[in-house]
């Protein structure tokens, strides 16, 4: 063996050195045929030291070789054991694969049975396999989702004259689907012993009955074009990755109360047939573009930490966004057929309501708009209430139409304000409003009474080409001295039944 040969060579070399030293020593101490000088005690001592050093070196070499031998033998043994373990692991893995294949095949065959009870057993078998094997969990999860994605006609939608056998079969399938949903939801909750973390759920086009995902934790979740029957609940649910409900149909009430979306969420073109509850829900990027809310749309105290897109959404009943927090919001071209409530809501960035239609009362009282805001060409067919609202940046209402009363009492406009070409068909109140930037009411039509009593205009105020068809009151209103208001031509004509400018004339009189 190479190891023995190395050892023999080392020992032989050591012995050779010893023999050579011995011969040298013999010659130095008095070989009869050699002339030499007498060996002194110092020389003898030095020679002995050299000999001992050589012997120590030889011993060290031998020890090193022996240690190397031990280490190498240990490595060989470890390699043999590791190889044996690897071979055993591969054998065990093959056995596990074989067992999984057998169990999975049997469970899959059960789910394809004509008997609901057998299919039900297959569902539980799949869940058990997923609990036992983390490696095979995704396969079982995909199978459960695929089963729920298969077409199914709910019992209530089966024609009355359908074969009773078919009706019974559909009723049994309902129980199977309820069990599959429950098995899935249970394992998406952190307190379940078999919790499936980071589960990616694909339930596109699935038919879900009485879906209860309260307290679940989803990674990626897709419910696109899914149909939710007999209500759905996602209360306190966490979506840690993208969540899509695009095109989904909720036939009855649905609750997402206190849920959290930590990534983008997409509800575009979804249809909510009942009430939709999103109170205290947290969103990052939320898309509800083209979404239809047939019942109550309930978003009080909701948090939108990114863009909230409700463009072209339809609110058939009341829409409640009171005390909601928006980073940026788009409600352009949205239709509110019920009361629209935004009291105490806060828009931290841009707010777009351009072209929106409010069929009933629109309440923006005490709402805070901290960035640019657009209500241009919006239509308010009932009362519009912006009393005590605050616009910190530019506010555009040009081309808007107010068919009933419009209230802007005590409203604060912190920057430029545009009401150009707006039409106020009912009474309009800007009492005690504050215009810190320019206020433009160019070509605005006031068909009903208009009150600007005690209003404050700190910059340019333009009413040129505006029309006051009834009472216009500016009692105790104040204007910037360096920027007198621009009034419409003929403002003092009898066509205006009652105009109060006494205070204005006092304020504008020369010093």
Q: Which residues contact 68 (CB under 8 A, 6 or more apart)?
A: 3
Q: Once rounded to an integer, what is the mean pLDDT over residues 251-260?
A: 97
**Alpha helix (H) residue ranges in 316-436:** none
Q: Please give the pLDDT value at position 159.
A: 47
How many Å apart are CA 277 and CA 288, to the nearest integer? Answer: 14
Confidence of residue 344 (pLDDT cuts 50, 70, 90): very high
Domain ranges of the chain: 2-25+47-108, 112-199, 207-321, 353-511
Q: How far apart are the first and last CA of the chain?
A: 119
Q: Once rounded to an integer, what is the mean pLDDT over residues 276-283?
A: 98
82 has pLDDT over 60: yes
Q: Please give the pLDDT value at position 183.
A: 94
How many Å apart are CA 57 and CA 35, to the nearest integer? Answer: 32
- Angle at 265 (CA atoms; ends 264, 269), nearest 5 degrees: 135
Q: What is residue 258's DSSP assignment?
A: T
Q: Once rounded to an integer, what is the mean pLDDT over residues 141-154?
A: 88
44 has pLDDT over 80: no
Q: Please give the pLDDT value at position 168.
A: 45
Range with lowest mean pLDDT among 130-139, 386-395, 484-493:
484-493
What pLDDT, in 10s, does the model give residues 400-424? 999 999 999 999 999 999 999 999 9
Range with lowest mean pLDDT among 155-159, 254-258, 288-292, 330-334:
155-159
What's the helix, strand, coil split of the chain in %, to 5? 30, 25, 45
Beta-sheet pairing, 445-446 with 423-424:
parallel
How many Å apart are CA 189 and CA 176, to the nearest integer? Answer: 21
How many Å apart are CA 421 and CA 207, to the nearest integer? Answer: 50
Torsion angle in degrees (nearest 10) through CA of 87, 88, 94, 98:
160
How far is residue 71 from each of residues 59, 74, 187, 394, measured CA to CA in Å? 18, 5, 50, 81
326: which strand partners?
304, 347
Q: Please give the pLDDT value at position 482.
A: 84
Q: Which residues contact 441 (CB under 8 A, 6 or more apart)?
A: 419, 420, 422, 461, 462, 463, 466
What pLDDT, in 10s, does the model give residues 52-65? 565 566 666 666 76
Q: Once rounded to an integer, what is the mean pLDDT over residues 65-75?
A: 73
**Alpha helix (H) residue ranges in 112-195:** 116-132, 137-149, 164-186
129 has pLDDT over 80: yes
Q: What is the residue-averaged pLDDT of the chain? A: 84
Q: Please give the pLDDT value at position 111.
A: 87
How far is residue 158 from each of residues 76, 116, 152, 162, 248, measured CA to CA in Å? 72, 18, 10, 7, 22
Confidence of residue 441 (pLDDT cuts 50, 70, 90): very high
């Amino acid at each position: 063996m190479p190891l023995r040969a190395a050892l023999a060579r080392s020992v032989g070399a050591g012995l050779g050195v010893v023999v050579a030293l011995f011969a040298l020593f013999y010659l130095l101490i008095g070989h009869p045929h050699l002339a030499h000088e007498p060996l002194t005690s110092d020389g003898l001592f030095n020679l002995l030291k050299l000999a001992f050093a050589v012997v120590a070196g030889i011993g060290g070499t031998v020890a090193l070789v022996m240690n190397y031998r031990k280490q190498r033998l240990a490595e060989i043994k470890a390699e043999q054991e590791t190889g044996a373990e690897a071979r055993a692991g591969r054998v065990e893995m093959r056995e596990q694969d074989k067992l999984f294949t057998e169990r999975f095949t049997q469970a899959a065959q059960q789910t394809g049975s004509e008997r609901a009870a057998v299919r039900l057993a297959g569902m539980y078998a799949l869940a058990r396999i997923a609990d036992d094997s983390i490696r095979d969990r995704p396969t079982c999860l995909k199978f459960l989702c695929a089963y729920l994605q298969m077409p199914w006609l709910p019992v209530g939608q089966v024609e009355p004259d359908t074969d009773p056998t078919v009706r019974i079969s559909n009723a049994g399938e309902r129980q199977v689907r309820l069990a599959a949903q429950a098995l899935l939801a249970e394992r998406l909750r952190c307190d379940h012993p078999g919790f499936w973390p980071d589960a990616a759920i694909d339930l596109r086009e699935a038919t879900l009955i009485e879906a209860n995902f309260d307290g679940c934790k989803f990674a990626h979740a897709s419910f696109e074009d899914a149909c939710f029957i007999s209500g759905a609940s996602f209360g306190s649910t966490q979506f840690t990755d993208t969540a899509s409900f695009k095109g989904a149909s909720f036939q009855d009430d649905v609750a997402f109360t206190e849920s959290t979306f930590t990534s983008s969420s997409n509800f575009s073109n979804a249809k909510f047939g009942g009430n939709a509850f999103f109170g205290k829900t947290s969103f990052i990027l939320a898309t509800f573009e083209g979404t239809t809310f047939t019942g109550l749309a309930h978003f009080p105290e909701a948090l939108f930490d990114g863009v909230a897109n409700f463009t072209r959404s339809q609110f058939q009943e009341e829409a409640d966004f009171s005390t909601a927090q928006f980073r940026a919001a788009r409600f352009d071209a949205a239709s509110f057929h019920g009361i629209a409530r935004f009291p105490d809501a806060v828009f931290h960035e841009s707010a777009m309501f351009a072209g929106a239609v409010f069929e009933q009362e629109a309440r923006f009282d005490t709402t805070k708009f901290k960035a640019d805001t657009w209500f241009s060409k919006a239509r308010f067919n009932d009362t519009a209430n912006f009393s005590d609202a605050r616009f910190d940046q530019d506010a555009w209402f040009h081309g808007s139409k107010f068919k009933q009363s419009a209230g802007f009492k005590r409203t604060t406009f912190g920057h430029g304000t545009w009401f150009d070409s707006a039409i106020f068909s009912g009474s309009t109140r800007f009492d005690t409003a504050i215009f810190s930037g320019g206020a433009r009411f160019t070509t605005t039509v006031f068909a009903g009474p208009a009150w600007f009593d005690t209003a404050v205009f700190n910059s340019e105020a333009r009413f040129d080409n505006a029309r006051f068809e009834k009472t216009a009151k500016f009692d105790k209103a104040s204007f910037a001295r360096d920027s007198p208001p621009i009034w419409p031509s003929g403002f003092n004509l009898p066509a205006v039944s009652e105009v109060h400018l006494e205070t204005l004339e006092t304020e504008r009189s020369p010093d």
